[in-house]
Amino acid sequence: MKVLIVDDDALIRDGLKVLLELEDDIEVMGTAQNGQEAFDQCRNGRPDLVLMDIRMPIMDGVLGTKLIKDHWPDIKVVILTTFKDDEYIKEAVRSGAEGYILKNQTADSIIESLRTVGKGNSVFQKEVAGALSAMIGEDKKKSPGHTELTAKELAILQLVGEGMSNKEIAEKLYLSEGTTRNYVTGLLDKLQLRDRTQLAIYYLKHY
């Protein structure tokens, strides 16, 4: 997995680069100091994942994320920041970020989050669940209500919330991957949610 590190703090950029390059399955393809530099680097060479800070000069991480996702939707973006500001969180996710994690995490936790997003899942810390739940309410134009789920639906929702892929859920629950996909689609329809990211947020909020 090719990763681009974006942070205006040189010490953090270099520290993350050293940390990630110790992993056999991760290649740091470059670093950038702001969202504009990140966008330019994505144009010159496609990373699989961008690890993006929020508050940066010239162009912040929210706009940087939006530009990258608008041009290359397949590039994953994970926000790594010290800030738990609700508006930053909501805007980053609305801009397309697949993850939002805080810098107070252990190195192992950060690396595992990147791998989880690299597999096509979402990662959001419980500390930011409140802001994301509010976002869902705003997007639906009403407060999310309680919807009764079957035991199987609840089990699948929990595993989505824990960051598992359809394949991993299928193996754990002894289902086919197609059946699992159908359950996930059914949950999205039943809960009136847009995507797996919102399913994960819904699980964090309600369970």
DSSP secondary structure of 59-99: S-HHHHHHHHHHH-TTSEEEEEES---HHHHHHHHHTT-SE
Average pLDDT over residues 51-71: 92
Whether 89 has a pLDDT exceeding 80, the answer reads: no
pLDDT band for position 141 (cuts 50, 70, 90): very low
Q: Say what the pLDDT of residue 144 is.
A: 46
Q: What pLDDT is recorded for position 179?
A: 92
Helix, coil or strand: residue 3: strand
CA distance 199 to 120: 14
Predicted pLDDT at 184: 92
CATH class of 2-136: alpha beta
Strongest mean pLDDT among 49-58, 81-90, 146-155, 191-200: 49-58
Instruction: Render the burial of 74-103: b for 16+ CB within 10 Å, e for the rest.
Output: ebbbbbbbebeeeebbbbbbebbbbbbbbe
Per domain, the residue ranges of the chain are 2-136, 144-206
Domains 2-136 and 144-206 share a fold: no
> Mean pLDDT throughout 98-125?
88
Which pLDDT band holds residue 206 (cuts at 50, 70, 90)? confident
Tell me what pLDDT residue 121 has: 83
- Please state, for a pLDDT cut of 90, what percent of the chain lies above it: 48
Q: Summarize pLDDT for 6-38 with one digit per residue, the tens.
A: 999 999 999 999 999 999 999 999 999 999 999
pLDDT score of 82 more than 90: no
Under CATH, to which class is 144-206 assigned?
mainly alpha
